[in-house]
């Protein structure tokens, strides 16, 4: 098959569009012929590498993908057909629980003891084919676009689990979202609006803020024009503060803590600004604040949010589509923060047979 892979960590130049053996499905797995993949910042972190990350080289990036089932390993454990058939159009859930540890058995597979993420710890979706366990698949309606599907899986499940399940977002609450353009943030705006919440957006790019407004953000704050944007949030909420902050930057935590009302919740699923920063602990106890972390979602949450996506209640925002072979350019666009919404890769039909 054709794939974009790398043999060593480094910049975009290490990505190579080349031939690689197609994977074979293990018992309980399906072989998917991919039609679209979507990029996440994690792809670039994995390509760059970090201390302690051990990959089976060459590695293939990519957590998100959608395509058709080409084959199913018939040696299924009992009861695991799951209604999937060859030819079904599917979206992949990259959050791979083992299915048998205490957390997986309790339906909390994102806490799995042997957790893997497609494209991070094992080879991913920048390829013509990928194998995943059948329980990781969601069947798409015949008319649902593969690119929109690929763009949705990781960011919507992450935002849904964080805002709705971990954050317990309620109708009528005010949510502050820090950063305007990322996939999780645009998903969070839509989910907050669907839940009946009021959305305040802080960003530094006027165009991205305008786009955020077009998908439902109620109050926009341009942080490039503020010395301390937490004050602007405070004033915009009649000196009350917001109920919930979605902060996936990390280095902005102090401003986020200041922008919260007493008893408010800070939700985080990532750290695009870097992993280490200082916090003034007095804000947390004196204001009765909660800091709530999560990553990915459970299989049940994934199904719940995909049901809302394929019925059009949540609409993935697409930025730019690149051919698979131009994955390096696509990653550069993402890394430079030039996108609003998701960048996807178009994966052409395999040229020679099935591998």
* 257 phi and psi angles, rounded to 5 deg: -65, -40
Please choose, from the candidates 195, 193, 194, the residue with its C-alpha nearest in 3D space to the C-alpha of residue 217: 193
With residues binned 3-state (H G I as helix, E B as strand, rest as coil), the percentages for the chain, rounded to 5, are: 30, 25, 45
228-to-221, 222, 234, 238 alpha-carbon distances in Å: 11, 11, 10, 16
Nearer to Zn ion, 99 or 350 (CB): 99
Nearer to Zn ion, 101 or 194 (CB): 101
Stretch that binds Zn ion, among 32-40, 101-109, 152-160, 195-203 (CB under 5 A): 101-109
Beta-bridge partner residues of 29: 133
Stretch that binds Zn ion, among 45-53, 102-110, 296-304, 314-322 (CB under 5 A): 102-110
Name residues whose C-beta falls within 8 Å of residue 169's C-beta, 6 or more positions apart in sequence.
163, 175, 191, 192, 195, 197, 244
Closest approach of Zn ion to the CB of residue 132, in Å: 15
**DSSP H stretches of helix in 175-314:** 183-194, 206-214, 229-236, 253-259, 281-286, 299-310
Closest approach of Zn ion to the CB of residue 157, in Å: 17
Q: What is the CA radius of gyration of the chain?
A: 20
Residue 228: how many CB atoms within 10 A of its CB? 13
Nearer to Zn ion, 157 or 230 (CB): 157
Closest approach of Zn ion to the CB of residue 115, in Å: 7
Please choose, from the candidates 15, 30, 141, the residue with its C-alpha nearest in 3D space to the C-alpha of residue 80: 30
Nearer to Zn ion, 97 or 270 (CB): 97
Nearer to Zn ion, 110 or 255 (CB): 110
Closest approach of Zn ion to the CB of residue 106, in Å: 10
* Dihedral angle of Cα 101, 102, 106, 107, to the nearest 10 degrees: -30
Closest approach of Zn ion to the CB of residue 113, in Å: 5
Q: Looking at 44, 55, 70, 98, which residue binds Zn ion (CB under 5 A)?
A: 98
Q: Looking at 97, 133, 181, 203, which residue binds Zn ion (CB under 5 A)?
A: 97
Stretch that binds Zn ion, among 69-77, 110-118, 165-173, 319-327 (CB under 5 A): 110-118
Closest approach of Zn ion to the CB of residue 31, in Å: 23
Closest approach of Zn ion to the CB of residue 103, in Å: 5
Nearer to Zn ion, 101 or 254 (CB): 101
Stretch 193-222 residues interacting with Zn ion (CB under 5 A): none
Residue 202 CA to residue 204 CA, distance in Å, equals 7
Q: Looking at 101, 194, 219, 329, which residue binds Zn ion (CB under 5 A)?
A: 101
Torsion region of 238: left, alpha or beta (phi above 0 gives left; psi -120 to 50 gives alpha) = left
Q: Looking at 104, 132, 220, 324, which residue binds Zn ion (CB under 5 A)?
A: 104
Closest approach of Zn ion to the CB of residue 251, in Å: 32
Q: How many residues bind Zn ion (CB under 5 A)?
A: 5
Residue 20 CA to residue 213 CA, distance in Å, equals 43
116-117/95-96 β-pairing: antiparallel
x/- track of binding to Zn ion for residues 225-244 (CB under 5 A): --------------------
Nearer to Zn ion, 107 or 323 (CB): 107
Structure token digits, residue 115: 């957790």
Nearer to Zn ion, 104 or 200 (CB): 104
Whether the Cβ atoms of residue 171 and residue 85 lie closer than 8 Å to each other: no
Nearer to Zn ion, 116 or 315 (CB): 116
Q: Looking at 4, 22, 39, 112, which residue binds Zn ion (CB under 5 A)?
A: 112
Would you count residue 159 as binding Zn ion (CB under 5 A)? no
Query: Can you give the binding site for Zn ion, defined by CB under 5 A?
Result: 97-98, 101, 104, 112
């Amino acid at each position: 098959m054709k794939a974009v892979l790398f043999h060593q960590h480094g910049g975009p130049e290490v990505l190579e569009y080349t031939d690689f053996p197609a994977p074979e499905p293990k018992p309980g797995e399906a072989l998917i012929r991919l039609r679209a993949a979507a990029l996440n910042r994690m792809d670039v972190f994995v390509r760059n590498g970090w201390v302690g990350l051990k990959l089976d080289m060459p590695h293939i990036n990519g957590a998100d993908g959608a395509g058709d089932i080409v084959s199913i390993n018939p040696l299924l454990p009992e009861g695991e057909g799951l209604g999937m058939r060859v030819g079904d159009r599917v979206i992949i859930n990259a959050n791979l629980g083992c299915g048998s540890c205490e957390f997986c058995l309790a339906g909390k597979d994102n806490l799995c003891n042997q957790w893997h993420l497609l494209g991070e710890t094992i080879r991913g979706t920048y390829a013509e084919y990928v194998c995943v366990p059948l329980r990781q698949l969601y069947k798409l309606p015949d008319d649902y676009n593969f690119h929109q599907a690929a763009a949705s899986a990781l960011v919507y499940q992450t935002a849904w689990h964080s805002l709705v399940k971990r954050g317990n977002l309620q109708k009528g609450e005010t949510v502050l979202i820090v950063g305007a353009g990322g996939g999780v943030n645009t998903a969070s705006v839509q989910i907050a609006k669907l839940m009946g919440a009021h959305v305040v957006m802080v960003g530094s790019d006027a165009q991205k803020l305008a786009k955020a407004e077009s998908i439902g953000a109620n109050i926009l704050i341009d942080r490039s024009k503020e010395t301390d944007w937490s004050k602007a949030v405070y004033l915009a909420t009649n000196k009350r503060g917001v109920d919930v902050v979605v902060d996936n930057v990390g280095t902005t935590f102090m401003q986020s803590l200041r922008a919260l009302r007493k008893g408010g919740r800070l939700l985080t699923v990532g750290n695009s600004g870097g992993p280490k920063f200082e916090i003034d602990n007095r804000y947390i106890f004196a204001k009765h604040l909660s800091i709530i972390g999560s990553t990915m979602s459970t299989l049940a949450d994934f199904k719940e949010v995909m049901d809302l996506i394929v019925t059009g209640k949540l609409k993935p925002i697409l930025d730019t589509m690149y051919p698979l072979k131009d994955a390096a350019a696509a990653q550069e666009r993402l890394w430079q923060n030039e996108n609003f919404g998701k960048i996807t890769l178009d994966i052409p039909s395999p040229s020679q047979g099935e591998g």
